[in-house]
Amino acid sequence: MQKVELMSPAGSFESLMAAIKGGCDAVYFGVEQLNMRARSTNNFTLEDLRKIAAIARENSIRTYITMNTILYDHDIQLMKKIVDAAKEEKIDAIIASDHAVMNYAKKMGMPVHISTQANVTNIDTVEFYASYADVMVLSRELSLMQVASIQKEIERRQVTGPSGHLVRLEIFAHGALCMAVSGKCYLSLHSHFASANRGACIQNCRRSYIVTDKDEGMEYEIDNEYIMSAKDLCTIPFLPEILQTGVSVLKIEGRGRSADYVYKTTLCYREAIDACFQNTYTEEKVNGWMETLSTVYNRGFWDGYYLGRKLGEWSENYGSVATKRKIYVAKGVKYFEKATIAEFYCESHSLSVGDDIMVTGPTTGYVETTVGELRVNGLPVNKVERGTSFTVGIPEKIRPSDKLYKVVENT
């Protein structure tokens, strides 16, 4: 098995730092509006690029800009501006699906990855794109056998990218799947004039629907299943098989997800990948990772199309079935480094000794701990209520931009 790169989503500075803490090798993110999460995330602006690149360099991770919407004539200038800025800030590659982006990036000497939106499903398409890109994200609808066969053919045919090296394959390892092939969906556009292919998907496929008999007006709720809402992809239970295909990059989906999701999924996949390479991957560990993964946002898990067993598994619920949920409690005030104690101001709910907590922020990323001791005005207390300043032991530095959440069972 060759070394694989673990690529995590960074929809915000919080998630970027959380991904780094979780142990990612690379992050991908959108800049301005030309990406598939134009609606759902606080997209970074061109001004943020320098800071992101600096953080990435400091932490020795690679950075990729996602620019994979369909493009109109009026987008071309902005697209070029983003490619130019990416080159200047030494971003590692642009993830593209529109040929205009590939063409311009190639001209400018900016490396390109072919996005899953380009729907690469066979070796000849890989050959076609090889003059533009060294890395290609395969379509999410392929089975592992198909993935392995494409990888084998790349080696047999010696398909090389612009760098002169063999083309590397990337696949999705974890996160939301959608009912449409390679995300090319018209449902949201059809019902709400919100084009998924411009990053404005309103995710109405995630709702439950009723079928009406037109002759008699009878309504049927289909088996209480959310028939268009696929469960989330999770490959940890068969990660060794994934790695045996020879793919080079594993991507975690979720630029619209929060820092705790990014941290936990990155951490689990980091540990699982390392375990595969160290021959310490066991069923017991898999159970542990699955338990951790189920604590953060998910719609239930399935194997995607990789094992080719079922056509599709549909979610049984609207939204997340995570076993834990977070409740906002307090904002950061100050950190006393010597004592490793943090001061917070409680803005909502309450906090007690023994509560599990997490702190997220644009520089802090993600920190989790259990409340050991709470103090108000220097005196120990068992519980703090809204409107109080308090101190609590936190193992890492926190900042005024940070938020403290209580993590509780999701019942």
Partner 1 sequence: MIQIVQQREKCIGCNACVEAAPNRWRMSKKDGKCTLVGGKDKKGYYILNTFDDEWEENELAARICPVKIIRVVKL
Residues that bind partner 1 (CB under 8 A): 32-34, 38-39, 72-79, 192-195, 198-200, 202
> Smallest distance from the beta carbon of 38 to partner 1, in angstroms?
4
Q: Which is nearer to partner 1, 78 or 376 (CB)?
A: 78
Q: Which is nearer to partner 1, 186 or 220 (CB)?
A: 186
> Smallest distance from the beta carbon of 32 to partner 1, in angstroms?
7
Q: Residue 244 is encoded by which pair of tokens? A: 């045996």
> Smallest distance from the beta carbon of 11 to partner 1, in angstroms?
15
> Smallest distance from the beta carbon of 189 to partner 1, in angstroms?
8
Q: Residue 227 is encoded by which pair of tokens? A: 């028939």
Report how far residue 391's alpha carbon sits from residue 379's, in angstroms, rounded to the nearest whole number. Answer: 10
Q: Which is nearer to partner 1, 35 or 364 (CB)?
A: 35
Q: Residue 135 is encoded by which pair of tokens? A: 């890395």
Report how far residue 128's alpha carbon sits from residue 266's, in angstroms, rounded to the nearest whole number. Answer: 32
> Smallest distance from the beta carbon of 369 to partner 1, in angstroms?
36
Radius of gyration of the chain (CA): 23
Type of residue at 177:
L
> Smallest distance from the beta carbon of 376 to partner 1, in angstroms?
40
Nearest to 138 by CA among 182, 101, 105, 176: 182
Q: Which is nearer to partner 1, 33 or 369 (CB)?
A: 33
Q: Which is nearer to partner 1, 195 or 391 (CB)?
A: 195
Q: Which is nearer to partner 1, 33 or 59 (CB)?
A: 33
Q: Residue 102 is encoded by which pair of tokens? A: 């590939």
Q: Which is nearer to partner 1, 94 or 136 (CB)?
A: 94
> Smallest distance from the beta carbon of 201 to partner 1, in angstroms?
9
Largest CA distance in the chain: 75
Q: Residue 128 is encoded by which pair of tokens? A: 């076609």
Report how far residue 136's alpha carbon sits from residue 90's, in angstroms, rounded to the nearest whole number. Answer: 20
Q: Which is nearer to partner 1, 39 or 140 (CB)?
A: 39
> Smallest distance from the beta carbon of 199 to partner 1, in angstroms?
6
Report how far residue 129's alpha carbon sits from residue 114's, in angstroms, rounded to the nearest whole number. Answer: 8
Nearest to 11 by CA among 52, 62, 69: 52
Report how far residue 180's alpha carbon sits from residue 216's, in angstroms, rounded to the nearest whole number. Answer: 31
Cβ-defined contacts of 191-196 (< 8 Å, 24+)? 194/39, 196/36
The DSSP secondary structure of 334-353, one letter per residue, reads EEETTTTEEEEEE-SS-EET
Beta-carbon-side half-sphere exposure of residue 13 (alpha carbons within 13 Å): 15
